[in-house]
Structure 1
Amino acid sequence: MDFTRLARAEGRDDTTMHRIYRNYVRNNWFVKLILVYAGIAVLTIATLSYFAYVSLAKSIVDNKLDDQKNAMKSVDQFIESKYDAVQLMLQSIYRDQQLSDNVSYLLKNSYENYVSYRLDKFVNSANGVSKGLDFFKDRLEDDPDIENIILYSAEKQFLFVNDQHNLSKLVETKAARSYVPDAMILPNMDISTPNEWVRKAIGQWKPELIAVQSVINDMATYKMAGQLIVYYNSEAVTRALANYGESLPGYILALTPDGKVLFDSSGQYYGDLYPYASRIYGADGSAALDQDAYVSMLNAKHPGYVVVGIVPKAELAAYTQDLMRLIILIAIAGIFVAILIPSIFVLNFAKRVNRIIRSMRKVETGDMTVRIQDAREDELGQISRGFNDMLDELTRYIERVYKAEISQKQTELSALQARIHPHFLYNTLEVIRMRAVSQGVHDVGDMIYSLAGLFKSFVQSQAVVTLQEELDNCRKYLELFRIRYKDKFQYAFHADSELHGLEVAKMSLQPLIENYIVHGLRTDRDDNRIEISIVREEDRVRIDVRDNGNGIAKSRLEEIRQVLRFPEIVNEKASFGLRSVNERLQLMHGKPFGVEIDSEPGQGTSVTVWFPAKEWRENTNVSRLSG
C-alpha cells in the first residue's frame, strides 16, 4: 500500500510538472529565452568565478609562502650574524697580544695560577693596565642576546662561565666526574644546540638557546688550547617575527642535520628532536606531517643547520575562506543582475507582444474599435501602427461593402415581412367565416383583432422593437391558431416584466413559431404545446422556444445547423426563417449571438435565441444594423 501511495504521489508530481511546462514553458518563447539566457549566464559567471577564485587563492597562498620565506631569511640572518660575531670575537682575541696571552694562560693553567699571573702582570705593567677576561664581560654588555660566554680548557678540563648578570664562575669538569670532556672532544658543528652535559654543568636550562662553538688555539704553539662557546637566546628572532603579525602563516624551524631544534617560532619543539625531520628532508614543496603542509627549506652558508618553513594546508585554506565567500556573493549578485535586467527587458517585450495578441483576438470576436497604443519606433511599434492602419482600412471596407450586404439583408427582411403563406390567409379567413356562421361575433372579433394587429406590425418599417412588442405579436399570432385548433393547442410565455424594455430585432421570434405551426403541430393530438421562456444571463438575453411537435430528423437537423454555423453556405433546403433570424442577429451584434437548435424526432424541438441585453432607445432605426 505504501508503494502504491508513493507511485500515485510521483504521478501527481509528474502531472503537475508537465502541466506547468505545458502552460508556461512549451508554448512561451519568452520564458524559453529567459531560461536559456539564465542558464548561460549562470554557467558563464560560475566558470569565471571558479577560475577567479583559483587564481586569487593561488596568489594568496604564494604571498603567504613568500612572507614565510622572508621570515626564514630573518632567522637565517640572525644565526649567521651570531656566528660572525663569535668569529669576530676570536679575531679580536688573536689580534690583541695581551688578551691572547691572558686567555691562553687561563686555558693552560689552573684558575689560581691565572689569578697570580694577572696580579704579576698588573704590578709589572708600566701603566697599571693589563687586559684580562673583562673583554668577555664587555661582549655580554654589548649584545643582550648572549646568555653565556664559556671558555673550556682542554688541558685542565674546566669551564669558565660568564653570564648576563656579570657573574663569572669556574666549573670543574674532570673526566672522572663529568662527561663534559668526552663531549668536548667529539666533533661538533660550529652551530648547534647546547650540549646537555654542559647545560647540566653550568645550570643553564633555557630552551631557546643556540650554541656557537669555536676552537681557541695557542698563538705560541698553534695547538688547541680550548674552546669558545657562546649561548645566544633566540627570543630576539621571535620578537622580530612578531612584526609580521597575523600575516605570517605556519611556523619556522632551524634544525641541525640530526633533527635537533635550534629555533622554533611555535615554541613547541624546543629540547626535542623534530619528529618529522626525516619527512621534510627531500620533500618537494609539500609533505604529510601531523597534517598535510607546504614545506620550504633555506640552506644556510654553514652546514650546521637548515631553516625550514612549514605551513599546514588547512591554515592556508582558512585564509581563502573569506575570498571564497566574497566571490560567491559577487557571483550571486552578478547572476542576479545579469538575469534581472534582460528579464525586465524581455518581459516588457513579451507584454507588448501579448497586447498585440489580445487586440487581434478582440478583432476576431468582431470588435473593430480596438487600437494598440505604442509610440515606440522599434519593430513592435511598427507592427502596432501597421495593425491600427489595417483596422482603419478594414473599417472603411466594412462601411463600403458590409453596409451594402446589410441593406440586402434588410431587403430580405422586408420580403419576409411581406411574405404571408397563402394557406395562412386562406385558413384564417375560413375559420373566421365558419366561426361567424356557427358561433356568433365574439370569437370572430378576437380573431379579426389579432389579425389586424399582425398586419399592422408587418407593414411597419422598424428593424428593432422592444421585447414586449415582439412578444405581443407572437401572442396574437399564436392566439389565432389557438382559436383555430381549440382544445388541441396551447401556448405559454415566461418572462420577467423587467425584460420587456429590452430591444430585439423585429420578427426574431415569429419565424420560429411559424416553423412549429407549419412543421411541428400535430392535428391528431390534443396536447400540442409551445413555450417561450426568456431569461437574462449577465449581459446577454436567452430566449428558449420549446414545443412537443414532430421534431426534426437527424440528417435534416445537421443540415440546418451547418447553415446556421456557416451562413456563407448556400442551401436552398435550409429553413429560410431560421437562417434569416440567425444572420440578422450576427450582423447586428456579432458571432457570439444568433440561433441554436436542438430536436428529437417525435419528441419536439427546442430553439435558443441569443441577443445582447440593450435597453430600448426611441431613435432606434434601421441604421442600427450597421453597428
Structure 2
Amino acid sequence: MIGSVYRRYIKNNLFMKLLLSFALITILTIITLSYLMYHVMSQSVVQREMDNQKKAMESVNAFLSEKYESVQSMVLGVYRDPRLAADISYFLQHDFRDYIEHGLNRYYEEDVAPYGLSYFANRLEDDPDIRNLMLYSAEKQYLYVYNRQKSAKLHMTDAVHSYIPDAMALDNKNVSVPNPWIRKEIDQWDPRLFAVRAVMNDKNSLKYIGQLLIYFDSDGIWKSLASYKETLKGTILVLTPNGDVIFDSSGTYYGKSYPYMGQIQQETGMLEQESYITTLAQNQAGYVVVGTIPKQEIAAASQGWKRTIIIASVLGILIAILFPSLVVINFAKRTNKIIRFMKKVETGDLTSRIIEPKEDELGQISRSFNDMLDELNRYIERVYKAEIRQKHTEFVALQARVNPHFLYNTLEVIRMRAISQGAQDVAEMIFSLSALFRNVVQQKAVYTLKDELEACRLYLELFRIRYKDRFTYAIECDRELYGIPVVKMFLQPIIENYIVHGIEADRDDNHAVIRFSRENGTIRVRVEDNGRGIEPQRLEEIKEALGAPEEIGGSFGLRVVYERLKLLHGNRAGMELKSKPGVGTTVTVWFPEKEGAGESDV
C-alpha cells in the first residue's frame, strides 16, 4: 500500500518531494522545540511538586519529633522532682499492693499523698493525640495502662504466661508500631497508632527499672499536613527500619509491612507504578519519612501545559506549511501544464503550443519548447518524409526479388498442362505459386493478419510439396486475431531465411512453426524451426545489421522488416533472434495491436 502510494504520487514528482522535505524539516524542528519546551516545563513541575512534598514531609517529621520529645520530657520531669522520682522508682520495683501500702504509710507519716501515677494521668489531658499511656515494670513484669478516659488497669505479664517481657526487652526502637502482644493484652486493635517509648532508670542507682510506653493516634499527623491538603500530591509514609508502617497518607498499608523498602533509597523506582521517591531519616527516633509521587500524577499536573504546547505546535506547523505549499502548488500546476503539452506532442500532435506569459524559469522553458516544436516540424518536412519514401523504395525492391515479371494466368495454363500430363505434384506447386503471386500483386486498402497468414501458407506449401515428406509446417493463430491490420509481407522474409539457410534436405523431420499470441495489447509472432541454426558470431553480425543501413545483400529481408515495423510503431515494435547451431532458430516479432497499419500506410 505505502509502496504503491510512493510510486504513484511521490517517486517521480519533484514538487511533491520538495513539499514533503520542507514539511518534514518544519515538523521536526517545531516538534523538537516543543519537546524541549515541554521537557523544561515538566521538570519545573516535577521539582515544584517534590519541593512541596518535601516541605510536607518536614512538617510530618516535626510532628513526630515533637511527640518523641514530649515523651522524653515526661521522663525528665520525673527525674527533676526527687519525690516524684522516688515514688515512680518504688512503683516500678515493687508489687502494686506494696506500692499502695507504701503510699498509705507515707501519707500517715508525712501527711503527703503520693502523686506519681497521677503525674502521668495528667499528661493525657495535655496531649489529645495520646490513646494509651503505659508504665512497664521490668523487675515485676507488670503493665500499668491508662486509656484516653484516664481509666487505669494493671496487667500481669510475667514471662511464664506472656511474651510481653521478651518483647519489651528486645524492642529498642524509640518510635515504632505497637507490639501485637501488647495490643492483645490491652485489647487495642486500632491500626492507626504509633508507639513512642522511653527507658526509665532509678535516679540514684541508674539501674534499668522499666519503660514509659505511649500510643499516639497516627491520624493526628494529618494536623501537620492541614496547610498542604489541597496541593499535596502523592503519598507520605512514616516507616520503621524494618518496613512497619507508622503513618500512611493513602491508608493502604496500615497493619502491613511496606513492600517496597528496597526501592526507597532510589530517586525513582517502580512501586505500585513508576514514581519519584524522597526520604527524610530521623536517626535518633528510629524512623524514616518517605514521600512518593507517581510519575503519572505529575504528568497529569502538566496536562494543561501539554495541551497548550500541542495546540501552539500544530498551529505553527499548519502556518509554516500552508503558505509555502500554496507557492509550490502554483509552480506544480504550471509544470504539469507543460508536461501535458509534452504528452500531446508524444502522441503526434505537433501543432500544440504552450501559452505561458510569465518571464520566470517555467516561462523560458515553455518558449523554448514551442521553438523546438517549430524546428521539429521543419525537420519532418525536410528529412522524415524523404526517409519514408526511401523505405518504400526499398520495400518495392524486396517485392521485386520474389516477383518475377510474368503473369499468374500464364502459370494457370501451365498448371492445367501438368494435370493433363498426370504430374499432380507439379500442378499443386504451380497453383500455390500462382496464388502467392496474386497476393503479392494485389493492392488492398487494409491488409489483415489473415491475408498475411494465407501468403505464408502458400509459400510454405510450395516447399512442402517440393520436399515431400521431409518438411512439415504448422501455423497456430487464434481466429480472433484474423482481422488485425498488419504490415504486408512482414513474415515472408523470415520464413524465406529458414527455407534458404536453415532447412536440411537430407533430414526427414524438417519442421517450422508460426505462433501468434496477444499480450496486453501487443501482438507477438514467434517463428521457430529445427534447422541448421546460426553460428554465434554470425548471429551477432545479423543483430548488428538490423539497425544499420546496408546495401541489398545479406540479411536484407530481416532488416527491411525490422525497419518497417520501427517506422510504423516506434519503440513499441521490435524483433529478437535466438539460435543454436544444430538445434534451430527462433525469430520473435512484436508490434502494438491498435496501432497496426496496412500496406497502404507505407
TM-score normalised over the length of structure 2: 0.51
**Structure 1: how far apart are the matches of 2:62 and 2:121?**
24
The answer to whether 1:92 aligns with 2:77 is yes
Of residues 9, 21, 24 in structure 2, which corresponds to 1:17? 9
The answer to whether 1:323 aligns with 2:305 is yes
**Structure 2: how far apart are the matches of 1:267 and 1:239?**
16
1:208-254 residue CA offsets vs partner (Å, 9 max, x unmatched): 22211111112233212211111111112134335423643332222
Q: Report the alpha carbon displacement of residue 348 of structure 1 after superposing the two structures with TM.
A: 12
Decide whether the 8 Å contact of 2:63 with 2:224 is kept in 1.
Answer: no
1:328-362 residue CA offsets vs partner (Å, 9 max, x unmatched): 11211222334456667x599989x99xx9xxxxx
Consecutive unaligned residues of structure 2, counting only runs of 5 or more, are 339-351, 361-602
Q: Which residue of structure 1 lines up, in the alignment, with residue 275 of structure 2?
A: 293
- Relative to structure 1, the CA distance from residue 38 to residue 300 in structure 2 (aligned partners, 3 Å threshold; closer, same or farther) is same
The answer to whether 1:58 aligns with 2:43 is yes
**Structure 1: how far apart are the matches of 2:279 and 2:137?**
37
Q: Which residue of structure 2 lines up, in the alignment, with residue 333 of structure 1?
A: 315
Q: Report the alpha carbon displacement of residue 91 of structure 1 after superposing the two structures with TM.
A: 0.7
Q: Which residue of structure 2 lines up, in the alignment, with residue 459 of structure 1?
A: none
**Structure 2: how far apart are the matches of 1:68 and 1:303?**
21
Q: Report the alpha carbon displacement of residue 287 of structure 1 after superposing the two structures with TM.
A: 2.9
Q: Report the alpha carbon displacement of residue 327 of structure 1 after superposing the two structures with TM.
A: 1.8
Q: Report the alpha carbon displacement of residue 125 of structure 1 after superposing the two structures with TM.
A: 4.8
What amino acid is the match of 1:327? I
Of residues 171, 175, 178 in structure 2, which corresponds to 1:194? 178
Q: Report the alpha carbon displacement of residue 15 of structure 1 after superposing the two structures with TM.
A: 7.6
Q: Report the alpha carbon displacement of residue 122 of structure 1 after superposing the two structures with TM.
A: 4.0
The answer to whether 1:83 aligns with 2:83 is no
Q: Which residue of structure 2 lines up, in the alignment, with residue 210 of structure 1?
A: 194
Of residues 249, 252, 255 in structure 2, which corresponds to 1:271? 255
1:478-523 residue CA offsets vs partner (Å, 9 max, x unmatched): xxxxxxxxxxxxxxxxxxxxxxxxxxxxxxxxxxxxxxxxxxxxxx
- Relative to structure 1, the CA distance from residue 174 to residue 300 in structure 2 (aligned partners, 3 Å threshold; closer, same or farther) is same
Of residues 245, 248, 251 in structure 1, which corresponds to 2:235? 251
The answer to whether 1:174 aligns with 2:158 is yes
* Partner SS for 1:133: helix
Of residues 111, 116, 119 in structure 2, which corresponds to 1:132? 116
The answer to whether 1:304 aligns with 2:286 is yes
Q: Report the alpha carbon displacement of residue 320 of structure 1 after superposing the two structures with TM.
A: 3.6
TM-score normalised over the length of structure 1: 0.49
**Structure 2: how far apart are the matches of 1:73 and 1:10?**
61
Give matches, 1:426-575, under 5 Å. none
**Structure 2: how far apart are the matches of 1:93 and 1:60?**
50
* Partner SS for 1:65: helix
Decide whether the 8 Å contact of 1:254 with 1:264 is kept in 2.
Answer: yes
Q: Report the alpha carbon displacement of residue 97 of structure 1 after superposing the two structures with TM.
A: 1.8
- Relative to structure 1, the CA distance from residue 73 to residue 14 in structure 2 (aligned partners, 3 Å threshold; closer, same or farther) is closer
- Relative to structure 1, the CA distance from residue 15 to residue 292 in structure 2 (aligned partners, 3 Å threshold; closer, same or farther) is closer
**Structure 2: how far apart are the matches of 1:219 and 1:247?**
49
Alignment coverage as a number of residue pairs: 359
- Relative to structure 1, the CA distance from residue 34 to residue 16 in structure 2 (aligned partners, 3 Å threshold; closer, same or farther) is closer
Bigger drift between 53-62 and 287-296 goes to: 287-296
- Relative to structure 1, the CA distance from residue 249 to residue 231 in structure 2 (aligned partners, 3 Å threshold; closer, same or farther) is same
What amino acid is the match of 1:200? K
Of residues 57, 61, 80 in structure 2, which corresponds to 1:72? 57
Q: Which residue of structure 2 lines up, in the alignment, with residue 151 of structure 1?
A: 135
- Relative to structure 1, the CA distance from residue 105 to residue 340 in structure 2 (aligned partners, 3 Å threshold; closer, same or farther) is same
1:289-313 residue CA offsets vs partner (Å, 9 max, x unmatched): 3443333222213262222223333
What amino acid is the match of 2:179? N
**Structure 2: how far apart are the matches of 1:214 and 1:189?**
9
Of residues 206, 212, 215 in structure 2, which corresponds to 1:231? 215
What amino acid is the match of 2:277? V
Give matches, 1:404-419, under 5 Å. none
**Identity across the alignment (%):** 43
Decide whether the 8 Å contact of 2:130 with 2:215 is kept in 1.
Answer: yes
**Structure 1: how far apart are the matches of 2:224 and 2:200?**
32
Q: Which residue of structure 1 lines up, in the alignment, with residue 263 of structure 2?
A: 280
**Structure 1: how far apart are the matches of 2:7 and 2:245?**
72
* Partner SS for 1:47: helix
What amino acid is the match of 1:17? Y
Decide whether the 8 Å contact of 1:98 with 1:131 is kept in 2.
Answer: no
**Structure 2: how far apart are the matches of 1:331 and 1:252?**
37
**Structure 2: how far apart are the matches of 1:184 and 1:44?**
67
1:533-585 residue CA offsets vs partner (Å, 9 max, x unmatched): xxxxxxxxxxxxxxxxxxxxxxxxxxxxxxxxxxxxxxxxxxxxxxxxxxxxx
Consecutive unaligned residues of structure 1, counting only runs of 5 or more, are 1-5, 358-364, 366-370, 373-378, 381-627
**Structure 1: how far apart are the matches of 2:285 and 2:154?**
32
What amino acid is the match of 1:182? D
Point out the structure with max Rg over C-alpha.
1
Give matches, 1:91-110, under 5 Å. 91-110=76-95
**Structure 2: how far apart are the matches of 1:82 and 1:158?**
25
